[in-house]
Amino acid sequence: MAWLLNGCGEGPAGALLGDYQQRLAAALDLAPPTKARPTNIGDFPGPDARLFTLPETREGLLDVFALRGCHIANLVAGRNNQLGKVAAPSQRWLYELALWRRLSGCWNTEVPATLGDNDKARLARLTQLKTDQLPRASWNALFASSEWVDSFSRASSPLPPDALSEVDVQLPALAYLREATLHQFDRRWEADSATLEGHLKTLQERPLTAELLRALMLAERRLSEASRLLETALEDEACPATPAGLPSFSGDTRLVAWLDRLELASRRWLSAVHRLLDAQLISPRPAIVTYRRRWLSLEDPRAPWPALATARQRHRELRASLLRHCR
């Protein structure tokens, strides 16, 4: 993939921020700051930490045949054949959804009345088991899919300023996954394999979550370094030759226009991720709770989005203080 070839460089975003640092340092007659390497995002939890264990449901051929009125034989056979065993997580979820609908639908027909006591009890047990398992299967379908996991890849670079429109490209995929999660027990909603796979393919095109987080972290780091220049100037009571000599940081500059769009696009994306996670019909795995709070939160001050908002506010305040001091 093209994004892998970019490595871990800072790209156009880093150049934009570095240019501002250079111009600010020159205006204040200070040495440019030493650029610290931004830290990478944390590791996404591994399979054992993020997935639920779903025991295999093993029924004998005679047992399945006894429930032939429920029309589950072909589904079970397809799941147990070689292709079914290596199916993508999304396809395994579609299987679990179809099986639950067949079983629960069958329970509400005349079929149970035609069954012997043992077979009727088996149908009741299987129906309840699949009802209980479906939310876990839905969770696993998302968190076992490479398309979703790769969105949080550490092998990524900050999203370039001219690529923020990718958020609009991928948001419909999150919306569909949320819709599928919310309506899994709604018989009026039809799951469509081609639509599901199409949205997952869109997510696979680039690790957008990681790229946005790394752009936020890069911007926060470089703005914090620029703020230390302003702090030094205030401590030394140094002023630019003229207030106009201070590089503009008003809303019409290219840098601030990008920062505004980055904050907005990241908030929209992270909010959509939160809506998808909140739609899950099961309590999340603890490792995902921790990762979400540390890296995806819009409120935790350690997370990239709030950290950048704080850094921007601090930088504005320092610039205002310096301009007041130098009048």
pLDDT value of residue 323: 86
pLDDT at res. 65: 66
Residue 273, both tokens: 């991720």
pLDDT at 251: 40
Task: Report the predicted TM-score, pTM, of the whole model to 2 decimal places.
Answer: 0.90
Nearby residues of 164 by Cβ (< 8 Å), 6 or more positions away: 261, 262, 265
Whole-number Å distance between alpha carbons of 107 and 85? 27
At 63 the pLDDT is: 66
Handedness of CA 197, 202, 207, 213 (dihedral sign): negative
Domain ranges in the chain are 12-31+146-325, 52-135
CB neighbours of residue 21 within 10 Å: 18
The pLDDT assigned to 248 comes to 63
Residues 4 and 223 sit within 8 Å (Cβ to Cβ): no
Q: Across the 327 residues of the chain, what is the mean pLDDT of every consecutive 10-residue run?
A: 45 91 90 90 97 78 71 76 73 91 90 88 89 95 96 95 97 98 94 95 97 97 96 88 62 80 98 98 97 98 98 94 86
* pLDDT score of 61: 54
Give residue 59's pLDDT. Answer: 62
| Contact of 173 with 202, CB cutoff 8 Å | yes
What is the Cα 223 distance to its own chain's centre? 25
202: how many CB neighbours lie within 10 A of its CB?
Answer: 19
289-299: string of b/e by CB count within 10 Å (b at 16+)?
Answer: eebbeebbbee
With contact defined as beta carbons under 8 Å apart, do 201 and 147 qualify?
Answer: yes
Residues in the chain: 327
- pLDDT for 71: 86
Q: What whole-number distance in Å separates Cα of residue 72 and Cα of residue 82?
A: 18
Rounded to whole angstroms, the Cα distance separating 282 from 184 reads 13
Specify burial of residue 109 (Cβ count, 10 A radius: 0-12, 13-18, 19+). exposed
Residue type, 125: R
